[in-house]
Amino acid sequence: MKFTKMHGAGNDYIYIDSFTQELENPEFLSKKLSDRHFGIGADGIVLIKPSLNADCFMDIYNADGSRAQMCGNAIRCTAKYIYDNKIKKPTILVETLSGVKAVEIWEKEGIATGGRVNMGKPILSGHQIPTRYGASIVKNEKLNINDRIYEITCLSMGNPHCVVFCNDIDNLDLPKIGPLFENHEMFPERINTEFVEILNKNHFKMRVWERGSGETLACGTGACAVAVAGVLNGYCNQNDEIQIKAKGGDLTVMWHKNNNVYLSGEAITVFTGNVELYA
């Protein structure tokens, strides 16, 4: 099977052109191929499929085989693949399980280098995220993790996020506390969690624990969630460009006054190859 390994800010996936080849049992293959010791190594796999509503359909499977609705870093890489290999357009439309998203392409000498994605409007209602908090806006709610109370802000950017503003995130024992957030009873579909340190008004640093993948070097929807939560909590202003520093690189987010969230960042091809698939 042919594949392309790409990343956005270190958030890496294995991309499979499903215009030209079919893939059976993607849940199993995502676990197998994503293994960093016995597989190719990635945060998951992305099937790039034909779409009746857009230039392609992005179908994402996490490293544990679970399906994801949306990924802000993967969508830039998907758009890059379409631009580099299928059709040269200034804006690539990508259908996802969270709707059709428009990706404005950055290019150099005919090769896409990144882009700006209209990620749509944040979902703030506790029930719709979903959480078991009934509030219309889930801000500064309490969450008990191992008898420690955390103040959290939750929202969905196509998938659910829990944002925790705290200090000294470099020393967090994320492999220990990340799964406790992800699988907490308050989150019926599990949750992605961002731990955020405020560097200054428009510059945040984050670490992220993604449901189904564990700690990743970056998370596009997570960066969007951080910016929205920052505005809701008064740490930054709507319509400002917010720099989000992740382990794998920097992302730029703006929650526009039109209520849409825009995410900008790189999209990099690491390598292409062939892998033999065995049962």
Catalytic residues, by residue number, are 71, 219
Q: Give phi and psi for 145, each to the nearest 5.
A: -120, 110
How far is residue 234 from each of residues 64, 72, 165, 228, measured CA to CA in Å? 36, 24, 12, 10
- State the helix-helix crossing angle for 72-85 and 220-232, rounded to 10 degrees: 130
Distance CA 169, CA 206 (A): 7
Sequence-ordered list of residues with C-beta below 8 angstroms from that of 5, at least 6 positions apart, any chain: 12, 13, 14, 15, 40, 42, 269, 270, 271, 272, 273
* Ramachandran angles phi, psi of 37, nearest 5°: -110, -40
d(CA 154, CA 137): 8
Question: CB of 68 within 8 A of CB of 76?
Answer: no
Six-digit token string for 246 = 């992740």
Which residue has tokens 């560097």? 199
**Contact call for residues 223 and 11 (beta carbons, < 8 A):** no
